[in-house]
Chains A and B, each alone.
Chain A
Amino acid sequence: MKKRAPLILAIIIALPLLLLVWFGVRFQLDQQQVAAHQLNNLVTSRLQSIDQQFQEHFFLLQQRFILQAQALQKETQGQYNVESVRRFIGQSAAVKQIFVLSKAGERRFPPQDQPLNQHEQDFVELTRNLLSAPERFTMSAMDPVIPKNVTSPRYLGVNSDELQSARLSDSVSSKARYSADASPTEREEETPHGWIAWYAEAGLQQIFWLEDSDGNTVGFALNSSRLLSDLINLLPSSAVAGDAVATEQEVSSEIRLVNDRGELAYSWGQGSDSAAGVSKPLQTLPLSHPVTSWHLDYYAVAQPAVITGWLGLFTLLLLLAVSLSTLAYWLYREHSRELRVAEQRVNFVNQVSHELKTPLTNVRLYTEMLEQELAEDEVVAQRYLGVIGSEAGRLSRLIENVLSFSRSKREGVSIRHQQGGVDKCIAQVVELFTPVLSTRNLKIRFTGNAGHLCYFDGEALEQVLNNLLSNCEKYAADGQFVDIRSWQKETSGILYSYIRVSDFGPGVSVNESEKLFEPFYRGSNKLTDGVSGTGIGLGLARDLARAHQGDLIIEQRPTDEVVSGASFLLSLVTPVTVPTMMNDKPDD
């Protein structure tokens, strides 16, 4: 009993806590996964949008080059004379060099029959292989390398306002400028063109080529430094240190643009140098053609959000655990204090009872002696002595009850079997109680049918009956009669004795019937009832009955019955032969 309480309390604490921990951890893990997934998606879309921006840049360049090539062709009447092309190169910031191949694959620019400047010489040297293989500039051959046909419509779907409008204005102005031409836009669609990424000078050289209306191939070699510079300018710069308006993404991440040689070309965001240098990028996205060998790396700084999530969970659990434990501890202390108080009370009562027992025995002894010595004619004294005797008897029963109760709590109820007649025993008790009850105008009607000699504990039976009858005295005084019936029945070789004690008092409600047997419960606590009692009688009686392998129950009377009152049925195992085993049977 003492150990069970803390155990239950511990379970009460631990179970919800464990459940909460489990759910919390699962929730947190889920949350993390979701967050990681979301972050991944976000990162992917962010990187892809950058790639998209680059594609748009190339698309714009392409549009511009197509128009410029048309202008150049128109200006030179398809001749691409050296002066004009050189002037064009001198003015175009994005272009490093231009080449023109005739339909037959012959180089028209840089010119073969005129002296070249240094840049042109270098360029010719670098692209010798490329220029000597004009089949590279046919659409079919380019198909696998150039996803431009795919990207162009994709581009149209994007609604990046600025670039879109830039492109629109570009095309509008171009239309205005070239409207004299039959249908420039249509021709533009027809124009075979493409991008080539050419390795030159240990670096990637982007070349845009197109075929003009005369079948010449015009190629624009980009100034790769300028290209990188332009791409960098498409990318955001980092937040100024100390600037409060840094977006959240900027704070927590760094994106790096890495070129074909694996060198960092540009980075932005707020990643710390050392950390990002060591750790692996969260995500890497290779860029689309014509900068395929470049890629974007996304580095995330350690995510503080996740940690706070765990922290939150753990503080919550900790708080809960602490509060539950405090509550449990408080409950346990209350409980054990009550137990201690009850024990102290029992001990006290016990000791007092012990102290009372000896003088009371003397009082009874001398009362009896005095009764015998007293002359017959001293009626008044006789009556007085009778009252003293019965009250002393009652007191000793009470004390016996208390002592039995405390004994039963301490070491269990023990039964001592002795041969005797049940009816005889009952008659003794009835005789003892008759004067007491008669003072309360109660009459006992005893019908005895249990005459067999058998083994039972007479003292225990007496005590049970004492308790039942004193209850009748206390609670059913206005019922006039107390019926006691006894009978015996043999079932499968064992003799059972039954005793029913019925009164005609107020009776016992169904709710109360079980509580009545609990220690210290009393049918009525009201002092006005003038009822005294300790509240241990019935419980003790039932314990005795159970120790006797029987039981004591309250019989429920049918509701339609006219008479009220309580009826107790006591059943006992009363073997005919000596029950050796039963003598030392321990009770619960």
Chain B
Amino acid sequence: MNTQLDIPMLRRFIRPFGFALLSLLPALAQANQVSLNINLATPVMEAEQSHRAFIKVSLEGFKQQDKQARIPANVAIVLDKSGSMGGDKIKYAREAAIMAIKRLDERDIVSVVSYDSKVQVVVPATQVRNHQSIYNAIRNVHANGNTALFAGVSKGANELRKFLSRNKVNRVILMSDGLANVGPQTASELGELGASLAKEGISVTTIGLGLGYNEDLMTRLAGFSDGNHAFVENAEDLASVFQYEFGDVLSVVAQGVNIEIRCRNGVKPIRLLGRESEIIGNRVTTRLNQLYSEQEKFVILEVEVPKQQAETELELVAVNVSYNNLFTQNQENLSGQSVARFSLSQQEVKAARDDKALEAAVEQVANEFSKNAIEARDSGDLEGAKKILQDSASYLGSQAQSLSSPRLQEQKEEALQDADALDTEQDWNKQRKELKARQYKRATQQKY
């Protein structure tokens, strides 16, 4: 409510100022700005023919100038301490959390919530001043009971709210190894919670440990709030995952990224690959909760382009991006457009092809195939699932060849392996978790 009212006013003041600054110090300004790239995979299309085209809209966070000048973090670590976490698992989880908190300092705020059948606030939201007392509190967490995941996340988010600020990286890091069995437990309910938290600028990173957790729920929760997701099979690896996660948290440069894509001139949006999006008429909107320093995040929009005459140019989409720059603490806007040219010359079409963008598009399309395959496998259609993956593999293969892309070749191998793995009944649980995590990473360009 506040931001909505205040930002236009702020903007009015700051924009001229910002522009002045921009013209004076272009180098600095650029360094502290998110870069927007809109790449049409096929900038030149065959005329007299309708096309499916992929547009890659990518954003890259600027480099953090100074490691010391990072954005303060407001992190809630939500640890599963249900009975299944007993033994080494909880020990590793504790140590992982402690190792991760070691990276924070007094600018940051940390809280630790543990849950079994009930929820305990182990460390209420507090500035990271006295590391040792936080560690001691964490070391007191012992495994026992059921899994009240929903309440755990709720309480974790509540701890964040005590210091909630748009100028902080607000994040719940949820670690769970089991099915939520106390309180809401469906993926959609958790997703809804995630969506609500995202609206407040809180993202939830979910770390699934072992083979017992619900990967749909975990990816959904992370997906709706644009957090990270990881599958950790062995508890020993928790520490490194936590390290990656905190690395991400500490390198956030922009938050609240809204991407609005408007299709022009009769171009129809078909789907946005990779992320949750809203398509209303010719308007596609999606949202990233944050951008990390020097990490590229992109979405692939698939559109249908109507027949055009040769040698014409057509604006396909106009892109508007708004985000909250955490360094300047301003709401900033970026815009761009994608223009296609139509030609009858096949060569021209081929020569103009943007291999990088197409590679990304193919990757995402194959990722969608992979998702479909899981759905098919879930509904019991083993053969169908297999076929989808095989089709995906051959699609990847042919594209890899034409683009001479080792990445796609790799993905093709993966798809083939996955197709084989569908058969093995015992390993499916693990396979599915791996697949889900991989799909999630690919779709959100998660770094680890």
Please give the residue numbers on chain A whose beta carbons come within 8 Å of chain B beta carbons, in ascending order: 68, 71, 87, 90-94, 96, 114-119, 223-226, 228-230, 232-233, 237-243, 263-269, 273
Closest A-chain residue to B185, C-beta based? A263
A-facing residues in B2-44 (Cβ within 8 Å): 3-4
Residue pair A223, B196 in contact (C-beta under 8 Å): yes
Q: Which chain B residues border A92 with CB–CB below 8 Å?
A: 199
Closest 8 CB pairs of A and B: A226-B196, A229-B154, A225-B192, A238-B118, A233-B158, A225-B193, A93-B199, A115-B281
Residue pair B199, A225 in contact (C-beta under 8 Å): no
13 contacting pairs across A/B (C-beta < 8 A): A71-B1, A93-B197, A116-B280, A119-B278, A225-B189, A225-B190, A237-B113, A237-B118, A237-B119, A241-B141, A264-B183, A265-B151, A273-B117
Q: Which chain A residues border B75 with CB–CB below 8 Å?
A: none
Residue pair A232, B199 in contact (C-beta under 8 Å): no
Cβ of B157 under 8 Å from chain A: yes
Cβ of B145 under 8 Å from chain A: yes
**Which size class do B's interface residues fall under?**
35 or more
Residue in B148, B157, B196, B281 whose CB lies within 8 Å of A267: B148
Q: Which chain B residues border A273 with CB–CB below 8 Å?
A: 117, 145-146
With both chains docked as a complex, state the minimum distance between the C-beta of A293 and any C-beta of chain B, in angstroms: 15
* A454 vs B154: C-alpha distance when bound (angstroms): 117
With both chains docked as a complex, state the minimum distance between the C-beta of B13 and any C-beta of chain A, in angstroms: 20
Q: Which chain B residues border A87 with CB–CB below 8 Å?
A: 4
Provided the pairs A91-B4, A233-B155, A265-B183 are in contact, do residues A238 and B197 lie with their beta carbons within 8 angstroms? no
Cβ of B140 under 8 Å from chain A: yes
With both chains docked as a complex, state the minimum distance between the C-beta of B329 and any C-beta of chain A, in angstroms: 19
Closest B-chain residue to A111, C-beta based? B280
Q: Which chain A residues border B145 with CB–CB below 8 Å?
A: 273
Provided the pairs A241-B140, A242-B140 are in contact, do residues A223 and B151 lie with their beta carbons within 8 angstroms? no
Q: Which chain A residues border B340 with CB–CB below 8 Å?
A: none
Residue pair B140, A93 in contact (C-beta under 8 Å): no
Residue pair B192, A240 in contact (C-beta under 8 Å): no
Our count of residue pairs bridging A and B at CB distance below 8 angstroms stands at 110
* A382 vs B148: C-alpha distance when bound (angstroms): 125
Q: Which chain A residues border B157 with CB–CB below 8 Å?
A: 229, 233
* A232 vs B35: C-alpha distance when bound (angstroms): 41
With both chains docked as a complex, state the minimum distance between the C-beta of B282 and any C-beta of chain A, in angstroms: 9
Cβ of B264 under 8 Å from chain A: no
Residue pair A229, B118 in contact (C-beta under 8 Å): no
Cβ of B437 under 8 Å from chain A: no
Cβ of B349 under 8 Å from chain A: no
Q: Which chain B residues border A117 with CB–CB below 8 Å?
A: 278-280
Q: Is the interface of A mostly helix, strand, loop or mixed?
A: mixed
Residue pair A266, B183 in contact (C-beta under 8 Å): yes
Residue pair B279, A267 in contact (C-beta under 8 Å): no
* A186 vs B154: C-alpha distance when bound (angstroms): 36
Central interface residue in B4, B141, B281, by most chain A CB within 10 Å: B4
Mask of B160-201 contacts with A, CB within 8 angstroms, 1/0 = 000000000000000000000011100001101101110110
Q: Which chain A residues border B155 with CB–CB below 8 Å?
A: 232-233, 237
Q: Which chain B residues border A116 with CB–CB below 8 Å?
A: 280
* A243 vs B123: C-alpha distance when bound (angstroms): 12
Q: Which chain A residues border B150 with CB–CB below 8 Å?
A: 225, 228-229, 232, 265-266
With both chains docked as a complex, state the minimum distance between the C-beta of B94 and any C-beta of chain A, in angstroms: 13
Q: Which chain A residues border B192 with CB–CB below 8 Å?
A: 96, 223-226
Provided the pairs A229-B154, A233-B155 are in contact, do residues A240 and B280 lie with their beta carbons within 8 angstroms? no
* A504 vs B1: C-alpha distance when bound (angstroms): 123
Q: Which chain A residues border B279 with CB–CB below 8 Å?
A: 117-118
* A94 vs B196: C-alpha distance when bound (angstroms): 7
Central interface residue in B118, B141, B142, B146, by most chain A CB within 10 Å: B118
With both chains docked as a complex, state the minimum distance between the C-beta of B154 and any C-beta of chain A, in angstroms: 4
With both chains docked as a complex, state the minimum distance between the C-beta of A323 and any C-beta of chain B, in angstroms: 47
Provided the pairs A223-B195, A237-B155, A240-B137 are in contact, do residues A265 and B184 lie with their beta carbons within 8 angstroms? yes
Q: Which chain A residues border B199 with CB–CB below 8 Å?
A: 90-93
Cβ of B99 under 8 Å from chain A: no
Closest A-chain residue to B199, C-beta based? A93
Q: Which chain A residues border B310 with CB–CB below 8 Å?
A: none
With both chains docked as a complex, state the minimum distance between the C-beta of A408 and any C-beta of chain B, in angstroms: 85
Q: Which chain B residues border A223 with CB–CB below 8 Å?
A: 192-193, 195-196
With both chains docked as a complex, state the minimum distance between the C-beta of B281 and any C-beta of chain A, in angstroms: 4
Residue pair A91, B1 in contact (C-beta under 8 Å): yes
Cβ of B120 under 8 Å from chain A: yes
With both chains docked as a complex, state the minimum distance between the C-beta of B361 and any C-beta of chain A, in angstroms: 23
Closest B-chain residue to A239, C-beta based? B120
Q: Which chain A residues border B142 with CB–CB below 8 Å?
A: 241
Q: Which chain A residues border B141 with CB–CB below 8 Å?
A: 240-241
With both chains docked as a complex, state the minimum distance between the C-beta of A343 and any C-beta of chain B, in angstroms: 75
Central interface residue in A91, A117, A233, A237, by most chain B CB within 10 Å: A237
Residue pair B184, A93 in contact (C-beta under 8 Å): no
Residue pair A68, B1 in contact (C-beta under 8 Å): yes
Residue pair A267, B193 in contact (C-beta under 8 Å): no
Residue in A232, A238, A264 whose CB lies within 8 Å of B154: A232
Residue pair A240, B196 in contact (C-beta under 8 Å): no
Central interface residue in A71, A229, A240, A267, by most chain B CB within 10 Å: A229
Provided the pairs A114-B281, A225-B192, A229-B196 are in contact, do residues A267 and B120 lie with their beta carbons within 8 angstroms? no
With both chains docked as a complex, state the minimum distance between the C-beta of A206 and any C-beta of chain B, in angstroms: 13
Q: Which chain B residues border A229 with CB–CB below 8 Å?
A: 150, 153-154, 157, 193, 196
With both chains docked as a complex, state the minimum distance between the C-beta of B345 and any C-beta of chain A, in angstroms: 37
* A224 vs B140: C-alpha distance when bound (angstroms): 34
Residue pair A237, B120 in contact (C-beta under 8 Å): yes
Residue pair B193, A115 in contact (C-beta under 8 Å): no
With both chains docked as a complex, state the minimum distance between the C-beta of A90 and any C-beta of chain B, in angstroms: 7
Q: Which chain A residues border B158 with CB–CB below 8 Å?
A: 233
Q: Which chain A residues border B144 with CB–CB below 8 Å?
A: 241
Further 5 A-B residue pairs, CB within 8 A, beyond A226-B196, A232-B154, A237-B118: A117-B278, A229-B196, A238-B119, A240-B140, A264-B182
With both chains docked as a complex, state the minimum distance between the C-beta of B182 and any C-beta of chain A, in angstroms: 6
Cβ of B241 under 8 Å from chain A: no
Cβ of B319 under 8 Å from chain A: no
* A238 vs B182: C-alpha distance when bound (angstroms): 14
* A188 vs B227: C-alpha distance when bound (angstroms): 40
Residue pair B151, A266 in contact (C-beta under 8 Å): yes
Cβ of B403 under 8 Å from chain A: no
Central interface residue in A116, A118, A225, A233, by most chain B CB within 10 Å: A225
Residue pair B118, A268 in contact (C-beta under 8 Å): yes
Q: Which chain B residues border A224 with CB–CB below 8 Å?
A: 189, 192
Q: Which chain B residues border A71 with CB–CB below 8 Å?
A: 1
Residue in B119, B120, B189, B196 whose CB lies within 8 Å of A93: B196
Cβ of B416 under 8 Å from chain A: no
Residue pair B121, A237 in contact (C-beta under 8 Å): yes
* A233 vs B111: C-alpha distance when bound (angstroms): 15
With both chains docked as a complex, state the minimum distance between the C-beta of A350 and any C-beta of chain B, in angstroms: 85
Residue pair B196, A225 in contact (C-beta under 8 Å): yes
* A118 vs B121: C-alpha distance when bound (angstroms): 37
Q: Which chain A residues border B200 with CB–CB below 8 Å?
A: 93
Closest B-chain residue to A226, C-beta based? B196
Closest B-chain residue to A222, C-beta based? B196
Q: Which chain B residues border A263 with CB–CB below 8 Å?
A: 183
Residue pair B1, A225 in contact (C-beta under 8 Å): no
* A261 vs B339: C-alpha distance when bound (angstroms): 54
Residue pair B118, A267 in contact (C-beta under 8 Å): yes
Q: Which chain A residues border B151 with CB–CB below 8 Å?
A: 232, 265-266
With both chains docked as a complex, state the minimum distance between the C-beta of B112 and any C-beta of chain A, in angstroms: 10
Closest A-chain residue to B140, C-beta based? A242
Q: Which chain A residues border B184 with CB–CB below 8 Å?
A: 225, 228, 265
* A265 vs B151: C-alpha distance when bound (angstroms): 8
* A276 vs B200: C-alpha distance when bound (angstroms): 36
Q: Which chain B residues border A115 with CB–CB below 8 Å?
A: 280-281
Provided the pairs A229-B196, A237-B121 are in contact, do residues A118 and B278 lie with their beta carbons within 8 angstroms? yes
